[in-house]
Chain A
Protein backbone atom coordinates (compact mmCIF):
# COMPACT_ATOMS: atom_id res chain seq x y z
CA UNK A 1 0.00 0.00 0.00
CA UNK A 2 1.24 3.45 -0.86
CA UNK A 3 2.02 5.95 1.90
CA UNK A 4 1.05 9.03 -0.07
CA UNK A 5 -1.55 9.10 -2.80
CA UNK A 6 -2.51 12.16 -4.86
CA UNK A 7 -5.83 11.40 -6.54
CA UNK A 8 -6.47 13.65 -9.56
CA UNK A 9 -5.41 16.71 -7.65
CA UNK A 10 -5.72 20.18 -9.16
CA UNK A 11 -4.83 23.50 -7.62
CA UNK A 12 -6.30 26.43 -9.47
CA UNK A 13 -5.55 29.91 -8.14
CA UNK A 14 -7.40 31.57 -11.01
CA UNK A 15 -8.34 30.39 -14.54
CA UNK A 16 -5.05 31.78 -15.84
CA UNK A 17 -2.98 30.46 -12.98
CA UNK A 18 -3.25 26.70 -12.70
CA UNK A 19 -0.55 25.47 -10.36
CA UNK A 20 -1.38 21.77 -10.56
CA UNK A 21 -3.46 20.00 -13.18
CA UNK A 22 -4.95 16.59 -12.38
CA UNK A 23 -1.92 15.15 -10.60
CA UNK A 24 -2.02 11.39 -10.04
CA UNK A 25 0.84 10.21 -7.90
CA UNK A 26 1.72 7.40 -5.48
CA UNK A 27 4.70 7.33 -3.16
CA UNK A 28 5.60 4.17 -1.25
CA UNK A 29 7.06 3.86 2.25
CA UNK A 30 10.86 4.21 2.43
CA UNK A 31 11.14 5.56 -1.09
CA UNK A 32 13.54 8.36 -2.02
CA UNK A 33 11.80 10.55 -4.59
CA UNK A 34 13.11 13.63 -6.33
CA UNK A 35 10.66 16.10 -7.75
CA UNK A 36 12.20 18.30 -10.41
CA UNK A 37 11.00 21.10 -12.59
CA UNK A 38 11.53 24.75 -13.31
CA UNK A 39 10.42 27.50 -10.96
CA UNK A 40 6.69 27.77 -11.18
CA UNK A 41 6.22 24.18 -12.37
CA UNK A 42 4.20 23.35 -9.26
CA UNK A 43 6.78 21.63 -7.00
CA UNK A 44 6.21 23.86 -4.02
CA UNK A 45 2.42 23.77 -4.39
CA UNK A 46 2.56 19.98 -4.39
CA UNK A 47 4.46 19.98 -1.10
CA UNK A 48 2.22 22.63 0.46
CA UNK A 49 -0.83 20.53 -0.30
CA UNK A 50 0.78 17.55 1.38
CA UNK A 51 1.29 19.39 4.68
CA UNK A 52 -2.18 20.94 4.41
CA UNK A 53 -0.82 24.46 4.18
CA UNK A 54 -3.07 24.85 1.15
CA UNK A 55 -6.20 23.08 -0.01
CA UNK A 56 -6.60 21.43 -3.41
CA UNK A 57 -9.23 22.87 -5.75
CA UNK A 58 -10.09 19.36 -6.94
CA UNK A 59 -9.14 15.82 -6.02
CA UNK A 60 -8.07 14.13 -2.81
CA UNK A 61 -4.77 13.51 -1.07
CA UNK A 62 -4.28 10.50 1.17
CA UNK A 63 -1.60 10.13 3.77
CA UNK A 64 -1.72 6.59 5.05
CA UNK A 65 -5.48 6.25 5.50
CA UNK A 66 -6.27 9.90 6.17
CA UNK A 67 -7.79 12.18 3.58
CA UNK A 68 -5.61 15.16 4.50
CA UNK A 69 -8.10 17.84 3.61
CA UNK A 70 -10.91 16.26 5.54
CA UNK A 71 -8.98 16.47 8.77
CA UNK A 72 -10.19 18.95 11.31
CA UNK A 73 -7.96 21.89 12.22
CA UNK A 74 -7.31 20.30 15.57
CA UNK A 75 -6.04 17.13 13.88
CA UNK A 76 -3.55 18.93 11.63
CA UNK A 77 -0.76 19.15 14.21
CA UNK A 78 -0.87 15.34 14.44
CA UNK A 79 -0.50 15.01 10.66
CA UNK A 80 2.35 17.52 10.60
CA UNK A 81 4.23 15.60 13.23
CA UNK A 82 4.32 12.63 10.84
CA UNK A 83 5.90 14.80 8.15
CA UNK A 84 9.16 16.60 8.76
CA UNK A 85 9.71 19.57 6.48
CA UNK A 86 12.99 21.17 5.42
CA UNK A 87 12.86 24.50 3.60
CA UNK A 88 15.20 26.33 1.26
CA UNK A 89 15.39 29.27 3.69
CA UNK A 90 15.73 26.98 6.75
CA UNK A 91 12.92 28.67 8.71
CA UNK A 92 14.62 28.30 12.06
CA UNK A 93 13.24 30.21 15.05
CA UNK A 94 15.76 33.05 15.42
CA UNK A 95 15.09 33.55 19.13
CA UNK A 96 15.90 29.97 19.99
CA UNK A 97 19.25 28.21 20.20
CA UNK A 98 20.08 25.27 17.95
CA UNK A 99 19.12 22.89 20.73
CA UNK A 100 15.84 24.68 21.44
CA UNK A 101 14.95 24.80 17.76
CA UNK A 102 15.25 21.04 17.52
CA UNK A 103 13.63 20.43 20.91
CA UNK A 104 10.66 22.65 20.03
CA UNK A 105 9.11 20.05 17.74
CA UNK A 106 9.17 17.52 20.56
CA UNK A 107 7.99 19.98 23.18
CA UNK A 108 5.02 20.75 20.97
CA UNK A 109 4.18 17.05 21.05
CA UNK A 110 4.31 17.02 24.83
CA UNK A 111 7.20 14.56 25.06
CA UNK A 112 8.79 14.23 28.49
CA UNK A 113 11.92 16.28 29.17
CA UNK A 114 14.29 13.34 29.55
CA UNK A 115 13.24 11.84 26.23
CA UNK A 116 13.70 15.24 24.55
CA UNK A 117 17.23 15.57 25.92
CA UNK A 118 18.24 12.14 24.69
CA UNK A 119 16.64 12.35 21.28
CA UNK A 120 17.82 15.87 20.51
CA UNK A 121 21.37 14.91 21.43
CA UNK A 122 21.17 11.87 19.15
CA UNK A 123 19.77 13.81 16.23
CA UNK A 124 22.27 16.65 16.60
CA UNK A 125 25.00 14.01 16.57
CA UNK A 126 23.51 12.51 13.41
CA UNK A 127 23.71 15.85 11.60
CA UNK A 128 27.16 16.48 13.10
CA UNK A 129 26.40 19.57 15.15
CA UNK A 130 26.83 18.35 18.71
CA UNK A 131 29.16 21.24 19.49
CA UNK A 132 26.79 23.97 18.33
CA UNK A 133 23.85 23.26 20.60
CA UNK A 134 23.95 26.66 22.32
CA UNK A 135 24.44 28.76 19.17
CA UNK A 136 21.65 30.91 17.82
CA UNK A 137 20.79 30.62 14.11
CA UNK A 138 22.54 33.95 13.44
CA UNK A 139 25.80 32.42 14.58
CA UNK A 140 25.60 29.44 12.20
CA UNK A 141 26.62 29.07 8.54
CA UNK A 142 24.04 28.27 5.87
CA UNK A 143 25.01 24.60 5.79
CA UNK A 144 24.84 24.36 9.57
CA UNK A 145 21.44 26.04 9.65
CA UNK A 146 20.14 23.54 7.13
CA UNK A 147 21.48 20.65 9.16
CA UNK A 148 19.74 22.04 12.24
CA UNK A 149 16.55 22.28 10.18
CA UNK A 150 16.94 18.64 9.15
CA UNK A 151 17.55 17.66 12.76
CA UNK A 152 14.34 19.44 13.70
CA UNK A 153 12.43 17.68 10.92
CA UNK A 154 13.76 14.33 12.13
CA UNK A 155 13.41 14.70 15.84
CA UNK A 156 9.83 13.56 16.23
CA UNK A 157 10.56 10.55 14.06
CA UNK A 158 8.25 11.34 11.18
CA UNK A 159 7.43 8.85 8.46
CA UNK A 160 8.30 11.31 5.72
CA UNK A 161 10.90 14.02 5.26
CA UNK A 162 9.88 16.71 2.79
CA UNK A 163 12.82 18.78 1.58
CA UNK A 164 11.82 21.78 -0.51
CA UNK A 165 14.94 22.85 -2.41
CA UNK A 166 17.06 22.33 0.69
CA UNK A 167 20.27 23.11 -1.21
CA UNK A 168 18.98 26.21 -2.98
CA UNK A 169 20.88 28.60 -0.72
CA UNK A 170 24.01 26.52 -0.29
CA UNK A 171 27.33 26.12 -2.13
CA UNK A 172 28.07 22.75 -3.83
CA UNK A 173 30.12 21.31 -0.95
CA UNK A 174 27.45 22.02 1.64
CA UNK A 175 24.77 20.91 -0.80
CA UNK A 176 26.34 17.49 -0.97
CA UNK A 177 26.56 17.29 2.78
CA UNK A 178 22.83 17.85 2.95
CA UNK A 179 22.05 15.31 0.24
CA UNK A 180 24.23 12.68 1.90
CA UNK A 181 22.39 13.37 5.11
CA UNK A 182 19.04 12.86 3.38
CA UNK A 183 20.27 9.58 1.88
CA UNK A 184 21.36 8.41 5.32
CA UNK A 185 17.94 9.31 6.71
CA UNK A 186 16.35 7.34 3.88
CA UNK A 187 18.53 4.33 4.74
CA UNK A 188 17.28 4.61 8.32
CA UNK A 189 13.81 3.84 6.98
CA UNK A 190 12.16 7.20 6.28
CA UNK A 191 10.51 8.25 3.06
CA UNK A 192 12.30 11.24 1.59
CA UNK A 193 10.73 13.62 -0.91
CA UNK A 194 13.27 16.02 -2.33
CA UNK A 195 12.23 18.91 -4.50
CA UNK A 196 15.14 20.43 -6.38
CA UNK A 197 16.34 21.93 -9.63
CA UNK A 198 19.92 20.93 -9.10
CA UNK A 199 20.64 18.76 -12.17
CA UNK A 200 23.93 17.37 -10.92
CA UNK A 201 22.46 16.13 -7.68
CA UNK A 202 19.48 14.44 -9.33
CA UNK A 203 21.59 12.74 -11.95
CA UNK A 204 24.06 11.41 -9.39
CA UNK A 205 21.41 10.09 -7.00
CA UNK A 206 20.06 7.42 -9.31
CA UNK A 207 16.68 7.37 -7.56
CA UNK A 208 13.09 7.86 -8.66
CA UNK A 209 12.57 11.21 -10.41
CA UNK A 210 9.24 12.92 -11.05
CA UNK A 211 9.39 15.79 -13.53
CA UNK A 212 6.80 18.53 -13.34
CA UNK A 213 6.05 21.09 -16.00
CA UNK A 214 3.26 23.63 -15.93
CA UNK A 215 1.47 21.72 -13.22
CA UNK A 216 1.56 18.31 -14.91
CA UNK A 217 3.70 15.23 -14.36
CA UNK A 218 5.61 14.85 -17.61
CA UNK A 219 7.93 12.06 -16.53
CA UNK A 220 8.09 9.59 -13.65
CA UNK A 221 10.96 7.13 -13.80
CA UNK A 222 12.88 4.87 -11.45
CA UNK A 223 16.57 5.79 -11.65
CA UNK A 224 15.58 8.94 -13.52
CA UNK A 225 17.53 11.87 -14.92
CA UNK A 226 16.94 15.59 -14.82
CA UNK A 227 15.63 16.55 -18.27
CA UNK A 228 15.22 20.08 -19.51
CA UNK A 229 12.65 21.11 -22.01
Chain B
Protein backbone atom coordinates (compact mmCIF):
# COMPACT_ATOMS: atom_id res chain seq x y z
CA UNK B 1 0.00 0.00 0.00
CA UNK B 2 2.68 2.45 1.09
CA UNK B 3 4.99 1.32 -1.67
CA UNK B 4 2.24 1.87 -4.25
CA UNK B 5 1.72 5.38 -2.91
CA UNK B 6 5.40 6.18 -3.14
CA UNK B 7 5.52 4.78 -6.69
CA UNK B 8 2.50 6.80 -7.77
CA UNK B 9 4.11 9.98 -6.46
CA UNK B 10 7.40 9.16 -8.10
CA UNK B 11 5.72 8.41 -11.42
CA UNK B 12 3.62 11.59 -11.33
CA UNK B 13 6.69 13.69 -10.59
CA UNK B 14 8.81 12.08 -13.32
CA UNK B 15 6.00 12.32 -15.87
CA UNK B 16 5.52 16.00 -15.08
CA UNK B 17 9.17 16.77 -15.93
CA UNK B 18 9.49 14.36 -18.85
CA UNK B 19 6.46 15.94 -20.53
CA UNK B 20 7.98 19.34 -19.83
CA UNK B 21 6.36 21.26 -22.68
CA UNK B 22 2.97 19.68 -22.19
CA UNK B 23 3.21 20.51 -18.50
CA UNK B 24 4.16 24.08 -19.39
CA UNK B 25 1.05 24.41 -21.54
CA UNK B 26 -1.12 23.05 -18.73
CA UNK B 27 0.45 25.32 -16.14
CA UNK B 28 0.05 28.34 -18.45
CA UNK B 29 -3.66 27.84 -18.99
CA UNK B 30 -4.11 27.20 -15.31
CA UNK B 31 -2.25 30.42 -14.54
CA UNK B 32 -4.75 32.25 -16.71
CA UNK B 33 -7.71 30.49 -15.14
CA UNK B 34 -6.53 31.18 -11.60
CA UNK B 35 -5.64 34.75 -12.58
CA UNK B 36 -9.26 35.24 -13.60
CA UNK B 37 -10.47 33.67 -10.33
CA UNK B 38 -8.24 35.88 -8.21
CA UNK B 39 -9.04 38.98 -10.24
CA UNK B 40 -12.72 38.32 -9.71
CA UNK B 41 -12.20 37.76 -6.03
CA UNK B 42 -10.37 41.05 -5.60
CA UNK B 43 -12.79 43.00 -7.77
CA UNK B 44 -15.60 41.62 -5.64
CA UNK B 45 -13.82 42.93 -2.57
CA UNK B 46 -13.59 46.29 -4.30
CA UNK B 47 -17.22 46.45 -5.43
CA UNK B 48 -18.23 45.48 -1.96
CA UNK B 49 -16.24 48.40 -0.58
CA UNK B 50 -17.64 50.74 -3.23
CA UNK B 51 -21.21 49.70 -2.51
CA UNK B 52 -20.68 50.02 1.20
CA UNK B 53 -19.17 53.48 0.84
CA UNK B 54 -22.15 54.57 -1.26
CA UNK B 55 -24.65 53.08 1.16
CA UNK B 56 -22.75 54.64 4.04
CA UNK B 57 -23.53 58.05 2.64
CA UNK B 58 -27.23 57.38 2.98
CA UNK B 59 -28.79 58.54 6.24
CA UNK B 60 -31.86 60.26 7.63
CA UNK B 61 -31.45 63.64 9.28
CA UNK B 62 -33.79 64.56 12.10
CA UNK B 63 -34.02 68.32 12.52
CA UNK B 64 -34.78 69.07 16.15
CA UNK B 65 -36.83 71.96 17.43
CA UNK B 66 -34.82 74.92 18.64
CA UNK B 67 -36.20 74.83 22.15
CA UNK B 68 -35.65 71.12 22.74
CA UNK B 69 -33.98 70.12 25.98
CA UNK B 70 -30.88 67.98 26.32
CA UNK B 71 -32.85 65.25 28.11
CA UNK B 72 -35.33 65.04 25.22
CA UNK B 73 -32.48 64.65 22.78
CA UNK B 74 -31.03 61.84 24.87
CA UNK B 75 -34.49 60.27 25.05
CA UNK B 76 -34.99 60.31 21.28
CA UNK B 77 -31.50 58.97 20.75
CA UNK B 78 -32.09 56.11 23.15
CA UNK B 79 -35.46 55.27 21.64
CA UNK B 80 -33.90 55.18 18.20
CA UNK B 81 -31.05 52.96 19.32
CA UNK B 82 -33.57 50.50 20.74
CA UNK B 83 -34.81 49.83 17.23
CA UNK B 84 -33.10 46.84 15.70
CA UNK B 85 -32.93 48.54 12.29
CA UNK B 86 -30.82 51.44 13.51
CA UNK B 87 -27.09 51.00 13.30
CA UNK B 88 -25.93 54.46 14.31
CA UNK B 89 -27.26 57.72 15.71
CA UNK B 90 -25.05 60.77 15.52
CA UNK B 91 -25.91 63.97 17.39
CA UNK B 92 -24.85 67.24 15.82
CA UNK B 93 -25.47 70.16 18.16
CA UNK B 94 -26.36 73.64 16.97
CA UNK B 95 -22.77 74.81 17.38
CA UNK B 96 -21.37 71.79 15.62
CA UNK B 97 -23.81 72.37 12.79
CA UNK B 98 -22.67 75.96 12.53
CA UNK B 99 -19.00 75.00 12.52
CA UNK B 100 -19.64 72.41 9.84
CA UNK B 101 -21.55 75.00 7.83
CA UNK B 102 -18.72 77.51 8.13
CA UNK B 103 -16.15 74.90 7.14
CA UNK B 104 -18.16 73.92 4.08
CA UNK B 105 -18.58 77.48 2.87
CA UNK B 106 -15.28 78.95 3.92
CA UNK B 107 -14.47 79.90 0.33
CA UNK B 108 -17.74 81.75 -0.13
CA UNK B 109 -17.38 85.17 1.50
CA UNK B 110 -20.95 86.17 0.70
CA UNK B 111 -22.46 83.41 2.80
CA UNK B 112 -20.00 83.93 5.66
CA UNK B 113 -20.77 87.64 5.57
CA UNK B 114 -24.49 87.15 5.73
CA UNK B 115 -23.99 84.73 8.57
CA UNK B 116 -22.06 87.40 10.50
CA UNK B 117 -24.81 89.87 9.70
CA UNK B 118 -27.42 87.55 11.14
CA UNK B 119 -25.67 87.64 14.51
CA UNK B 120 -27.20 84.46 15.90
CA UNK B 121 -26.97 80.80 14.95
CA UNK B 122 -29.80 80.06 12.51
CA UNK B 123 -29.13 76.33 12.39
CA UNK B 124 -30.87 73.52 14.21
CA UNK B 125 -29.48 70.59 16.09
CA UNK B 126 -29.61 67.40 14.04
CA UNK B 127 -29.70 63.66 14.70
CA UNK B 128 -28.18 61.69 11.83
CA UNK B 129 -29.60 58.19 11.76
CA UNK B 130 -28.12 55.28 9.82
CA UNK B 131 -29.81 51.96 9.14
CA UNK B 132 -28.62 48.63 7.85
CA UNK B 133 -31.11 48.20 5.03
CA UNK B 134 -32.95 50.64 2.79
CA UNK B 135 -36.44 49.65 3.90
CA UNK B 136 -35.54 50.41 7.51
CA UNK B 137 -35.39 54.12 6.74
CA UNK B 138 -39.09 54.23 6.09
CA UNK B 139 -39.75 52.55 9.40
CA UNK B 140 -37.46 54.95 11.21
CA UNK B 141 -39.14 57.93 9.55
CA UNK B 142 -42.56 56.61 10.54
CA UNK B 143 -41.34 56.04 14.08
CA UNK B 144 -40.21 59.63 14.36
CA UNK B 145 -43.41 60.97 12.88
CA UNK B 146 -45.37 59.70 15.88
CA UNK B 147 -47.40 62.30 17.78
CA UNK B 148 -45.35 62.11 20.96
CA UNK B 149 -42.31 63.49 19.13
CA UNK B 150 -44.26 66.20 17.35
CA UNK B 151 -43.12 68.98 19.68
CA UNK B 152 -39.50 67.98 19.68
CA UNK B 153 -38.91 67.36 16.01
CA UNK B 154 -39.31 69.92 13.35
CA UNK B 155 -38.64 67.83 10.30
CA UNK B 156 -37.39 64.42 9.15
CA UNK B 157 -35.74 64.73 5.77
CA UNK B 158 -36.61 61.21 4.73
CA UNK B 159 -39.66 62.08 2.67
CA UNK B 160 -37.76 64.52 0.46
CA UNK B 161 -34.98 62.03 -0.17
CA UNK B 162 -37.09 58.90 -0.30
CA UNK B 163 -36.79 58.42 -4.08
CA UNK B 164 -33.02 58.98 -4.13
CA UNK B 165 -32.41 56.65 -1.22
CA UNK B 166 -34.29 53.81 -2.80
CA UNK B 167 -32.54 54.49 -6.11
CA UNK B 168 -29.11 54.31 -4.51
CA UNK B 169 -29.96 51.01 -2.90
CA UNK B 170 -31.46 49.70 -6.13
CA UNK B 171 -28.35 50.53 -8.12
CA UNK B 172 -25.93 49.17 -5.57
CA UNK B 173 -27.97 45.97 -5.28
CA UNK B 174 -27.97 45.59 -9.05
CA UNK B 175 -24.21 46.11 -9.09
CA UNK B 176 -23.75 43.43 -6.49
CA UNK B 177 -25.94 40.95 -8.36
CA UNK B 178 -24.37 41.63 -11.74
CA UNK B 179 -20.95 41.25 -10.15
CA UNK B 180 -21.84 37.85 -8.75
CA UNK B 181 -23.41 36.55 -11.97
CA UNK B 182 -20.52 37.86 -14.06
CA UNK B 183 -18.02 36.31 -11.67
CA UNK B 184 -19.71 32.93 -11.85
CA UNK B 185 -19.81 32.98 -15.65
CA UNK B 186 -16.20 34.07 -16.01
CA UNK B 187 -15.01 31.60 -13.40
CA UNK B 188 -16.88 28.85 -15.21
CA UNK B 189 -15.26 29.75 -18.53
CA UNK B 190 -11.81 29.89 -16.96
CA UNK B 191 -12.41 26.54 -15.27
CA UNK B 192 -13.56 24.95 -18.52
CA UNK B 193 -10.49 26.18 -20.39
CA UNK B 194 -8.19 24.68 -17.77
CA UNK B 195 -10.23 21.46 -17.73
CA UNK B 196 -9.97 21.16 -21.51
CA UNK B 197 -6.21 21.56 -21.51
CA UNK B 198 -5.86 18.77 -18.99
CA UNK B 199 -8.31 16.68 -20.98
CA UNK B 200 -6.17 17.06 -24.10
CA UNK B 201 -3.04 16.16 -22.15
CA UNK B 202 -4.69 12.99 -20.92
CA UNK B 203 -6.15 12.30 -24.36
CA UNK B 204 -2.60 12.27 -25.70
CA UNK B 205 -1.80 9.59 -23.12
CA UNK B 206 -4.82 7.36 -23.83
CA UNK B 207 -2.70 4.70 -25.56
CA UNK B 208 -0.43 4.54 -22.55
CA UNK B 209 -3.40 4.23 -20.27
CA UNK B 210 -4.74 1.25 -22.20
CA UNK B 211 -1.30 -0.38 -22.18
CA UNK B 212 -1.03 0.08 -18.42
CA UNK B 213 -4.38 -1.62 -18.01
CA UNK B 214 -3.33 -4.55 -20.19
CA UNK B 215 -0.16 -4.98 -18.19
CA UNK B 216 -2.32 -5.44 -15.11
CA UNK B 217 -2.16 -2.09 -13.36
CA UNK B 218 -5.12 -1.24 -11.15
CA UNK B 219 -7.15 1.85 -11.91
CA UNK B 220 -5.72 3.79 -9.00
CA UNK B 221 -2.20 2.90 -9.97
CA UNK B 222 -2.86 4.39 -13.42
CA UNK B 223 -4.92 7.35 -12.25
CA UNK B 224 -2.64 8.42 -9.40
CA UNK B 225 0.26 9.85 -11.41
CA UNK B 226 -2.15 11.80 -13.63
CA UNK B 227 -3.91 13.27 -10.60
CA UNK B 228 -0.55 14.21 -9.16
CA UNK B 229 0.48 15.91 -12.40
CA UNK B 230 -2.73 17.93 -12.26
CA UNK B 231 -2.03 18.84 -8.65
CA UNK B 232 1.55 19.87 -9.43
CA UNK B 233 0.34 22.04 -12.32
CA UNK B 234 -2.32 23.62 -10.12
CA UNK B 235 0.17 24.30 -7.32
CA UNK B 236 2.69 25.84 -9.70
CA UNK B 237 -0.01 28.04 -11.26
CA UNK B 238 -1.24 29.12 -7.82
CA UNK B 239 2.24 30.06 -6.60
CA UNK B 240 2.99 32.04 -9.76
CA UNK B 241 -0.32 33.88 -9.44
CA UNK B 242 0.40 34.62 -5.81
CA UNK B 243 3.56 36.48 -6.79
CA UNK B 244 2.00 38.08 -9.87
CA UNK B 245 -0.86 39.52 -7.83
CA UNK B 246 1.57 40.98 -5.34
CA UNK B 247 2.94 43.07 -8.19
CA UNK B 248 -0.43 43.75 -9.81
CA UNK B 249 -2.08 45.06 -6.63
CA UNK B 250 1.02 47.11 -5.80
CA UNK B 251 0.90 48.70 -9.27
CA UNK B 252 -2.81 49.46 -9.57
CA UNK B 253 -3.66 50.18 -5.95
CA UNK B 254 -2.89 53.97 -6.10
CA UNK B 255 -5.03 54.44 -9.23
CA UNK B 256 -7.97 52.62 -7.73
CA UNK B 257 -7.54 54.57 -4.55
CA UNK B 258 -8.07 57.75 -6.55
CA UNK B 259 -11.45 56.53 -7.69
CA UNK B 260 -12.42 54.95 -4.45
CA UNK B 261 -10.74 56.52 -1.46
CA UNK B 262 -9.95 54.17 1.39
CA UNK B 263 -9.78 51.09 -0.83
CA UNK B 264 -6.13 50.20 -0.55
CA UNK B 265 -6.21 46.91 -2.41
CA UNK B 266 -2.46 46.38 -2.00
CA UNK B 267 -2.85 46.76 1.72
CA UNK B 268 -5.75 44.32 1.63
CA UNK B 269 -3.61 41.83 -0.32
CA UNK B 270 -0.71 42.25 2.09
CA UNK B 271 -2.77 41.75 5.21
CA UNK B 272 -4.50 38.71 3.70
CA UNK B 273 -1.35 37.32 2.10
CA UNK B 274 -1.60 33.97 3.80
CA UNK B 275 -5.33 33.53 3.20
CA UNK B 276 -4.79 34.47 -0.45
CA UNK B 277 -2.12 31.78 -0.75
CA UNK B 278 -4.49 29.22 0.75
CA UNK B 279 -7.33 30.24 -1.54
CA UNK B 280 -5.07 30.17 -4.60
CA UNK B 281 -3.62 26.78 -3.69
CA UNK B 282 -7.04 25.33 -2.97
CA UNK B 283 -8.36 26.59 -6.30
CA UNK B 284 -5.34 25.34 -8.22
CA UNK B 285 -5.20 21.92 -6.60
CA UNK B 286 -8.94 21.39 -6.81
CA UNK B 287 -9.01 22.45 -10.46
CA UNK B 288 -6.03 20.25 -11.37
CA UNK B 289 -7.10 17.18 -9.46
CA UNK B 290 -10.78 17.38 -10.40
CA UNK B 291 -10.05 17.97 -14.09
CA UNK B 292 -7.61 15.06 -14.22
CA UNK B 293 -10.01 12.78 -12.39
CA UNK B 294 -12.89 13.54 -14.75
CA UNK B 295 -10.72 13.48 -17.87
CA UNK B 296 -9.14 10.09 -17.13
CA UNK B 297 -12.39 8.43 -16.14
CA UNK B 298 -13.45 7.51 -19.67
CA UNK B 299 -10.16 5.76 -20.40
CA UNK B 300 -10.44 3.60 -17.30
CA UNK B 301 -13.92 2.28 -17.99
CA UNK B 302 -14.34 -1.35 -18.81
Contact = CB atoms under 8 A, between A and B. Distances in A.
A77 B1 CA distance: 16
List the 10 closest A-B pairs by CB distance, nearest first. Answer: A108-B217, A80-B216, A81-B216, A91-B211, A105-B215, A77-B216, A77-B218, A95-B18, A107-B7, A93-B208
Contacts of A67: none
Contacts of B72: none
Interface residues of B, number: 19
A104 B215 contact: yes
Interface of B: 1, 3-4, 7, 15, 18-19, 207-208, 211-218, 221, 302
Interface of A is mostly: helix
Contacts of A105: 215-217
Interface in A82-135: 85, 91-95, 104-105, 107-110, 112-113
A165 B136 CA distance: 83
Nearest to B4: A110
Contact of B214 (A51, A95, A110): A51
Contacts of A77: 213, 216-218
A200 B255 CA distance: 82
11 contacts: A53-B214, A80-B213, A80-B216, A81-B216, A93-B212, A104-B217, A107-B7, A108-B218, A108-B221, A109-B216, A113-B3
Contacts of A107: 7, 221
Contact of A95 (B4, B208, B213, B218): B208
Contacts of B1: 110
Contacts of B221: 107-108
Given A104-B215, A112-B3, 16 more contacts: A76-B302, A77-B213, A77-B216, A77-B217, A77-B218, A78-B216, A80-B214, A80-B216, A91-B207, A91-B214, A92-B211, A93-B211, A94-B208, A105-B217, A107-B7, A113-B3
